[in-house]
Every structure is written in C-alpha cells, then in structure tokens.
Amino acid sequence: MSVNLEWRSARVLRVVDGDTTVLQDLENGQVFKTRHIGYNSPETHHPARGVECFGSEASANLNNLIAGKVVEYAFDPLEEKKDKYGRWLFHLRFDGELISLYMIRHGLAFAYRRFQNVFKKEQLETEAAAKAANAGLWGACRVFPNPEHPEEWLTQQTGG
C-alpha cells in the first residue's frame, strides 16, 4: 500500500455515523463534514429506515476510536472531491492505519464498490477476510449485504 497522497491533519469534532465525520483542519481551522472514501457502514440516521443492522455498533466504534482526536485526511485522485450531499470525500488515517480498513476488518462496514479509489484492492481483500471470519455485521445481521447495492440490503434488514 505505497500510495503517495497529500495528507493533512485535522481534529475530529464529531462522529456523525460509521462513515461520516466533522473535522477541523489543524492548519487553517476550516470545519467541514466529510464522507469517508472506500467503505459504507449501516445507517443510524436514515429518514426512511431508521437504525440499520449494526449501524449503532459501527458509529459507536468509530466514535470511541477517533472522536476528539487528531486524524490525517487526504483526497483520492480517482474520486470526486464532494458527494451529492456536499460532503467532502476523504480517506482518513488514525495512528497510521486507514479508517476504511479498520472499519471493514472489524465487520463495521463493507467495501464500497461503486467508485474507484486507490485503496480499493486492499479494502476488498480486507472485506473477504472479515466475511470469512463472520466479523461484526457478517455474523450479526440476518441478510448479507450486496455491496453493489447496499440500500437493498439495508432495506431488507429493517423490513422497510
């Protein structure tokens, strides 16, 4: 995983859910909402579906890991800068580890397949290992996600 990205430092002001945070850049003080690149975690605030299977665990775990702490963030050269909701799209790193790989390895999320990113191969390999080990959502949720269309899986989890 020797990808050369331009990493910047920020403090995590708030963990919104398992794949979204509010950061404050340590150099310029800018505050922004960011969607993490490369993975999708079950929702905790979805207006139609509410809390999805393993959503609370994913959010709590990420909150315990990085809330109030300094992380590194970087754009991905293969990804857009913002998503359709206006959130900045970044890779996050904490203590030298990609947050995407941490969340996927612990079964708190699955690799996001719709878009390319420079760490996609590692994310998919990490997901395969987590799935084989029944880690987190892979062992706890009654229907396994179709990572190509996560919204279908998430709807099945809640019956809505």
Domains of the chain, by residue range, sit at 8-158
The Cα 145–Cα 14 span in angstroms is 27
Pinpoint the alpha helices (H) of the chain: 55-66, 99-105, 120-132, 137-140, 150-158
| Residue range 8-158, CATH number | 2.40.50.90
Confidence of residue 45 (pLDDT cuts 50, 70, 90): confident
The Cα 99–Cα 105 span in angstroms is 10
Q: Summarize pLDDT for 55-85 with one digit per residue, the tens.
A: 999 999 999 999 999 999 999 999 999 999 9
3-state secondary structure 23-39: EEECCCCCEEEEEECCE
| Total-model pTM | 0.87
Tokens 């880690």 sit at which residue? Answer: 135
Contact between 72 and 92 (Cβ < 8 Å): yes
